[in-house]
Amino acid sequence: MEQLFVIKIGGNVIDDNTSLQSFLKDFAEIKGAKILIHGGGKIATKIGDKLGIQSNYVDGRRITDEATIDLVTMVYGGLVNKKVVAKLQALNCNAIGLTGADANIIPATKRPITKEGIDFGFVGDINNEQLTIENLQLFLKSGLTPVFAPLTHDGNGQMLNTNADTIASTLAVGLSKNYNVRLIYCFEKKGVLENVDDDHSVINLITKEKYQQLLQAKKLFDGILPKIDNAFAAIDSGVNEVLIGDAKDLLQNTTEKVNGTLIK
């Protein structure tokens, strides 16, 4: 099967023009089929502040009220997405900017109010069974590079805010039937560290066995556990391998000899 890279970058890369330009240059150089999913960055909060839209958080998650979904639709779906697309076009990468509403690729459902009574507002949980993967494949086969903003829709006319990591893993799983998929999460460290205080202690390969050993040795810091759990969930659903690494190491991390952490 053909190789496909599904790559997620976070707000830290989006917010810094030099990092973004350098990342996009590397991304454009990757040969073959690839998809980019970008987070939002702090720009939405900045613009929201100017517009008098307050950010409300519950348990570290932003509450997406009506003003906020309009804000992120503008900023993620418009400003950030088209900036990335225009820059990729300049690098001879034939990018096409998308949200989950476009071509109905990612239908979602507004998250119900939790048992504890928390209403996250216009947050979308993806309807995995209803992905329109055919259209995404059509774009890939035509040499286009889809660039997703972290937005979905409810099928009833409402845009929804959806976590970029989740969009990345969902698309990776959806395409794994037809592609050999490496899902790459770019984050602020080189990879999963054997010693949290030593940035050079990157573990280059984590198998399920190795993961059990690391868990038993209590070597992994808490924040990384859900990322690894999600990685294995994606692999169990068909993705070939998941890589967690630094945006700066992107090109190296598309090869066999990675700088980050390969999970398989």
* Beta carbon of residue 49, minimum distance to a copy of itself (angstroms, whole number): 10
List the one residue from 4, 30, 140, 159 that touches a copy of itself (CB under 8 A).
Answer: 159
- Asked if 133 is part of the footprint of a copy of itself (rule: CB under 8 A), the reply reads no
List the one residue from 86, 113, 118, 251 that touches a copy of itself (CB under 8 A).
Answer: 86
Would you say 110 and 160 are in contact if contact means Cβ atoms under 8 Å apart? yes
Q: 219-250 as b/e, with b when 16 or more CB fall inside 10 Å? A: ebeeebeebbebbbebbeeebbbbbbbbbbbb
**Considering just the CA atoms, what is the radius of gyration of the chain in Å?**
18
Would you say 148 and 167 are in contact if contact means Cβ atoms under 8 Å apart? yes
Number of residues that bind a copy of itself (CB under 8 A): 41
Residue spans of alpha helices (H) in 108-205: 133-141, 164-175
- Asked if 25 is part of the footprint of a copy of itself (rule: CB under 8 A), the reply reads no
Of residues 58-77, which lie at the interface with a copy of itself (CB under 8 A)? 70, 73-77
Q: Which two tokens stand for residue 80?
A: 């950030």
Q: Which residue number, 50 or 257, has a Cβ lying nearer to a copy of itself? A: 50
Q: Which residue stretch of 34-42, 96-104, 110-118, 228-236 sits at the interface with a copy of itself (rule: CB under 8 A)?
A: 96-104
Instruction: Tell me which residue of 190, 199, 157, 196 sits closest to 260, measured CA to CA.
Output: 190
**Which residues lie closer than 8 Å to 111 by C-beta, 6 or more apart?**
120, 123, 124, 125
DSSP 67-110: HHHHHHHHIIIIIIHHHHHHHHHHTT--EEEE-TTGGG-SBEEE
Q: Which residue stretch of 29-37, 123-131, 152-160, 231-239 sits at the interface with a copy of itself (rule: CB under 8 A)?
A: 152-160
Q: Which residue stretch of 1-9, 25-33, 80-88, 179-187 sits at the interface with a copy of itself (rule: CB under 8 A)?
A: 80-88
* Beta carbon of residue 132, minimum distance to a copy of itself (angstroms, whole number): 8
* Beta carbon of residue 121, minimum distance to a copy of itself (angstroms, whole number): 16
Q: Which residue stretch of 5-13, 90-98, 192-200, 253-261 sits at the interface with a copy of itself (rule: CB under 8 A)?
A: 90-98
Would you say 32 and 7 are in contact if contact means Cβ atoms under 8 Å apart? no
The whole-angstrom separation of Cα 83 and Cα 218 is: 42
List the one residue from 98, 168, 181, 203 that touches a copy of itself (CB under 8 A).
Answer: 98
* Beta carbon of residue 96, minimum distance to a copy of itself (angstroms, whole number): 5
Q: Which residue number, 99 or 230, has a Cβ lying nearer to a copy of itself? A: 99
Residue 168's CB is within 10 A of a number of other CB atoms, namely: 27
Q: Which residues bind a copy of itself (CB under 8 A)?
A: 47, 50-52, 70, 73-79, 81-83, 85-87, 89-90, 94-99, 101-104, 135, 138, 142, 144, 151, 153, 155-159
